[in-house]
Amino acid sequence: MTRFLATRVPAGLAVLTLLVLGGVPDHPAAVPTRPAARVVSASAPVLPTGTTTASTGPYAFLSQAGHPGATVARWNPCSGPIGYRVNLARAPRGALTDVRGAVARVAAATGLRFRYLGTTSVIPSSTDSGPAYPAGTSLVVAWARPGQSRMLPAAGSGAARPLAMGGASWVTGRVDDRGRAWGQVVEGAVVVDATQYPEPGFGDAARGTRGRMLMHELGHVVGLGHVSDRAQVMYPVDSGPAVWGAGDRAGLRVLGAASGCLYPRG
């Protein structure tokens, strides 16, 4: 069972459609695996200052984007630390420090445990069928040029250029100790546009910061979706302080360790 859940989703099956003004596609792709479980993938961008989008609520869940009644998907806090690697081949100076800082902020807000495993050459959903995630790695953060990943397609004329895309793959058919239904996230990915250069760190830059951008995308990785409240990090435009808003914190609590372990249904 554990080995099955660690199976990688083929790149062509992940939902990687980029809407002009951001957001998640209406119909995430599903790959049937067995009656009690299926693998689902979704991703969403953070956009530069000045781009507007529409969404609702103080917090939202990635697994419910376009499917309000769908099961909420989250990582299993009882499966050990989430192993992650970073592809720094095209990353600017200080990028790893900001990734680790953003991961620490997600960990503090969720109670989930993360373990940095080192660097990698992997680009999630690579367009040239690159290597799979290394053994023990459940999350990769990579800097890439547009077109190197299906998560970050080459921008067409007039298209909004996302700073980054973050997403997750999960299986359905999980329950907690109280019998409540959940999806279980088994893999996460963040791909950052290496041709754009937001302010490094976690300061209060008017046009947003790299740290806030990474917090936003890692929010998707742990299961948060976009909201319309500009006071939240999960607002899909990179502006404002790199501090979780009240809605962000509430959503991250739901997705975190406080919600308990996950088990296969039945």
Domain for residue 62, yes or no? yes
pLDDT at residue 116, as a whole number: 98
For residue 18, is pLDDT > 60? no
pLDDT at position 241? 87
Q: Domain containing 156: what range?
A: 44-264
CA distance 102 to 120: 18
Q: Average the pLDDT over 226-240 and give the result.
A: 90
Is residue 39 assigned to a domain?
no
- pLDDT tens profile 153-187: 887 655 678 999 999 999 999 999 999 999 999 99
- 89 is a domain residue: yes
Domain-located, residue 29: no
Is 82 part of a structural domain of the chain? yes
Task: Copy the structure tokens of residue 264.
Answer: 């296969």
Nearest in space to 166 (alpha carbons), one of 231, 254, 106, 250: 106
What would the pLDDT profile of 198-215 be if each residue is shown by its tens digit? 999 998 776 789 999 999
What's the structural domain count of the chain? Answer: 1
* Predicted pLDDT of residue 49: 40
Q: What is the dihedral of CA 254, 255, 260, 261, to 10 degrees?
A: 160
Within a domain: 10: no
Residue 197, domain member (yes or no): yes
pTM check: above 0.75: yes
Q: Identify the pLDDT of residue 39.
A: 55
φ, ψ for residue 210, nearest 5 deg: -65, -35
Tell me the C-alpha distance between 253 and 111, whole Å: 8
CA-nearest of 265, 73, 80, 71 to 177 is: 265
51 within domain boundaries: yes
Kindly list the distances between the CA atom of residue 169 and the CA atoms of 39, 52, 80, 214, 221, in Å, as whole numbers in the listed order. 7, 26, 18, 18, 9
Instruction: Pick left, alpha or beta for residue 132 (phi over 0 → left; psi -120 to 50 → alpha; otherwise beta).
Output: beta
Q: List, for residues 237-250, the tens digit of each pLDDT value.
A: 888 889 999 999 99
Q: Look up the CATH number of the domain holding residue 62.
A: 3.40.390.10
